[in-house]
Structure formats: C-alpha cells, structure tokens
Amino acid sequence: MPTSGSYTFNMTRDQIILDAMYMIGAAGVGETPSDNDLQYCARQLNMLCKELEAEALHVWSTVFQGTLYLQPGQTSYTLSSTSSDHASVSVVETTLTNSYDATDVALVVGTVSGMTVGDHIGIQLDTNYVYWTTISTINSGTKTVTIPNPGLESAAAAGNQVYTYTTPLVRPLKIIDARRRDNTNLDVELTLMGSLEYANLPNKILPANAQPTSFYYHPLLTEGIFYCWPTPCDGSSRIKFTYERTLQDLVNASDTLDFPQEWYSPVLWLLAIRIAPAFGAAAQIDRLAPIAEKMLTKVLTWDGEYASVSFRPDYRS
C-alpha cells in the first residue's frame, strides 16, 4: 500500500489549544473559542513548556555544542545574546596566512568559507590577546577579509588564530560538560565544579602561566556566568562545551512547539489537565491524569542519550 513519504507532522500553538479544549468539553469541534480563552490557554501552554524544561527533555533538540573564546587573564565570561564576551554555536575557525602590523585592515586567512559581512571576528595578536571587531568585506578569491579602521591594535603573526561567528550564544540553562581546545585542535576535558567548590578556591588566577582545567557555570535570569580555573594565559585556546538551551516561547497562533513530534501527545494531555479547572471541568482531571502520566513517562524514557555507563571504585578513602 502507498505511504505518504512525509515526516513533517506538526501542530501549531492554537491547534494544540483547541484539541485540549475539545478533550475537556470547553469547546465543540468546529467552534471558535473567544480570544480571551485562547490567550489564557496560550499562557498555560507556555508555562507548561517551561516547566517541562526541568525534566531534561528532548536531548537531541535543545542540547547544543557552543564555543567560548578566551582572553588572557580573564576569569569569568558572560553568556547571553547581548554580552561583550564572545560565544556562539556556529563558528568559523582559521588562521592568518601572512603577518600583519598594527592598523592593518586587509587580512588574508586560511579560509573564508562560512563567513559573512558583519560577522564578529577575533584575531589573536602577538600579545596573545584576541582583538575583536567585525568583518567589513570578504574577497573569496584571495581569501581576504577587511576590518574597520583603525585596524589591528598590534602585530599579528602568520599562523595566529582567527575566529568568526554571526549570532551570539543565548543564555544556556545548563552546561553539561566542557573541553579546552588548543591551537592544534586537541581537546582536554575540563572538570565541572560546584558553586561552593569554586568559591573555596583560595586563588582564582594562579598559576599565571597555566590553561583552564576546571569550570563553574552560574545561570542567572537573563545571562549566565562561565568561570574557568586557572585563568587562561593566552587567547589561542577556546572552550567547547555542551549545553541545554531554553525552549522558545509560543507567541503567535501559528508557532509550533520547539521540541520533537514525540512530545505532542503528552503536552496536549498535560495542557488539558492544566486548563480544566478554569473551564469547569476539574472533575475530568482524575480521568486524564493517569493517561498523561503514562505518556510523559514513556516519552521521558525514550528521550535519552544512548551511551555506555561504567563504574569504578573510589580508592581515595
């Protein structure tokens, strides 16, 4: 028998709301609820989605790899879309082909693939500081990028690192793990510290000539603070990290859920439970709750990472 060949089933914000209202008898099929009812249900749906973030759901849809660029002597970095520090999901990393002096604006690099005009660009100077500016023009034929005047702050040798990205990183909910990548592209795993462990470090900087071996992440309301220890001694290394991002809001009637299709059923049933009391259908909660809980358990069990687990004894005690 023929099949559709389609894999794109989706539901909009208002379709989910209408189905939930149908389930509890708050609206009949084909009826158009009032705008006030739709807005109430939209608020409840958004709150439900934010609550589900606490379930560590949808590993493969909101878990991303980010890159944080370091500066020598800088211990903490702000992660947000408006931060003056530099972190992103999609980055281009290359090197200078030639050596340059202070005030130079035309730079030949190893590749310009993936770069666009207006991107943030960081150039490692010979002082090991990373000078950040933006890309003014790109010549793909000569692999040359130009930066605005006054150009480089100081000299930069051939082979120095060049980093570019378009979109700054949005505040991570949680950083799961992190690695320091050096200028030879080798990764060294960083140890995750808790807030008390980091606070109890007697010196947040020393040793002065070291590279980070540990990190601590402190999420705030609109931004997150990434602390690394020891403080990096140069800008040739960067932090590659795995993080969970927040779910996008459902603002418009046609917005779709920011997570996989497999979550639609539990979200629908959980929403029906949340809105039932407001529509005089609280008596239906006992009927809906066991089914919703079963759906939630099933999808949480499915939505995990397949990886081996090993245990080893702790000989320190």
Q: What is the DSSP string of 35-87?
A: HHHHHHHHHHHHHHHHHHGGGT--HHHHEEEEEEE--TT--EEEESTT-SS-E
Domain count within the chain: 1
Domain with 292, as residue range(s), is 13-58+259-300
Question: Distance (Å, rounded) from C-alpha 126 to C-alpha 155?
Answer: 6
Tell me, what's the pLDDT at 62?
Answer: 82
Give a yes or no: residue 46 inside a domain: yes
Strand arrangement, sheet containing 224-229:
76-79, 224-229, 214-219, 191-192
At 166, give phi and psi (nearest 5°): -100, -50
Residues recorded for the chain: 317
Q: Record the tokens describing residue 162, joined without a space.
A: 């060049």
What residue has token string 């470090």?
201
Q: What is the pLDDT of residues 75-111, one digit of tens each?
A: 999 999 999 999 999 999 999 999 999 999 999 999 9
Can you say how many angstroms the Cα of residue 89 is from the centroid of all Cα atoms in its chain?
Answer: 7
Q: 63, 38 in Cβ contact below 8 A?
A: no
Whether 107 is covered by a domain: the verdict is no
Neighbours of 211 (CB within 10 A): 18
Q: Tell me, what's the pLDDT at 270? A: 97
- CA 170-195-84 angle, 5° bins: 30
Report yes or no on 110 lying in a domain.
no
pLDDT at position 57: 59
Q: With CA atoms as reference, report the closest residue to 130 among 239, 237, 241.
A: 237
Would you state the pLDDT for residue 234? Answer: 85
Q: What is the mean pLDDT of each run of 10 residues along the chain (317 residues)?
A: 91 96 92 95 96 69 91 95 96 98 98 98 96 98 98 98 97 95 93 95 80 95 95 91 92 93 94 97 95 91 64 55
Domain membership flag for residue 139: no
In a domain, 79, yes or no: no
Task: Note whether residue 51 is domain-resident.
Answer: yes
Give the pLDDT confidence score for residue 59 in this predicted structure: 52
31, part of any domain: yes
What's the pLDDT at 56?
58
Read off the amino acid at residue 153. Answer: E
Q: Are strands 191-192 and 214-219 parallel, antiparallel or unpaired?
A: parallel
Residue 123 has what pLDDT?
A: 98
**Per-residue pLDDT at 183:** 86
pTM score above 0.75: yes
- Which helix (H) or strand (E) segment holds residue 176: the answer is strand 172-181
Residue 274 is assigned to a structural domain of this protein = yes
Query: What pLDDT, on the 0 to 100 scale, is given for residue 52?
Result: 87
pLDDT digits (tens, 9 = 90+) for 234-280: 888 999 999 998 889 999 999 999 888 889 999 999 999 999 999 99
